[in-house]
Amino acid sequence: MDRLSLPEEGKKAVVNRLVLSAAAAGVLWYGGGRVWAAVQPEYWEKYRPLMEEHRLTGIAVTAGVLFLASLAVLPLKPPGEDSPVADYIPCSEEV
């Protein structure tokens, strides 16, 4: 098996994680803008045109950061590894 190829379950897991990251980025981007406008209106008025002009880029960068953070916190399971306790060997009772 090639190192870069993933089984079907792995591809589904990556796609699901990427879709959730993109959805969370959209919510953070739009919700964060509203919160920022309410909390610091002077900065919002200053940077609002920049944020509106580069909205798609901002969402894409935020989604990428969230995706990589999710991989760092919860890495994908390697192919063939069912659970971390599969290799558990109990010690003898004579201890």
Distance in angstroms (rounded) separating the CA atoms of residues 18 and 66? 9
pLDDT at 1: 45
Of 45, 51, 47, nearest in space to 29 by CA: 51
How far, in Å, are 76, 83, 93 from residue 88 at the CA level?
Answer: 20, 10, 15
**What's the pTM value of the predicted model, to 2 decimals?**
0.69
Please report, in tens digits, the pLDDT of each residue of the chain (95 residues total). 455 566 677 788 889 999 999 999 999 998 988 888 899 989 889 988 988 899 999 999 999 999 999 999 988 776 555 555 555 566 666 65
Q: Which residues contact 83 (CB under 8 A, 6 or more apart)?
A: none
- Report the 10 Å Cβ neighbour count for 62: 19
- The domains of the chain are located at 8-73
